[in-house]
Amino acid sequence: MTTTHTPGPWRVTGPNIRAGDALVAVAENLWADMVCSEEEKTANARLIAAAPDLLAAAIDALETFERRFPDSPTAHDLRAAIAKATGA
């Protein structure tokens, strides 16, 4: 499976998520009505930065589940999460 996202690894620098020198995302919405705490922004940034690793792990896990338990709820959940992440 190929993806078109910016390759990892991604890292957190404040509310920013970077891949190398490239800015991938900012876990802060300056235009939102709701104000997030710095702790929540940092947690969001960490989760976003982990996305490429989580996607790769989900793809690997799905291969195992499809071989051993293709109709399991876990295989279904992995397929759904991968589709959500890749836009499939």
For 40-76, how does the pLDDT look when each residue is reduced to its tens digit (9 = 90+)?
878 888 888 898 999 999 999 999 989 998 889 999 9
- Same structural domain, 33 and 74: no
- Same structural domain, 68 and 84: yes
Domain that residue 28 falls in: 1-49
- Same structural domain, 74 and 86: yes
Amino acid at 25: A
- Same structural domain, 45 and 60: no
Question: pLDDT category, 29, cuts 50, 70, 90?
Answer: low
Identify the CA nearest to 4 among candidates 59, 76, 52, 58.
52
- Same structural domain, 44 and 84: no
Question: pLDDT category, 82, cuts 50, 70, 90?
Answer: very high
Q: What mean pLDDT comes out for the span 5-22?
A: 84
pLDDT at position 55 is 93
SS3 72: coil
- Same structural domain, 37 and 69: no
Predicted TM-score of the model (pTM): 0.76
Q: How many domains does the chain have?
A: 2
- Same structural domain, 19 and 37: yes
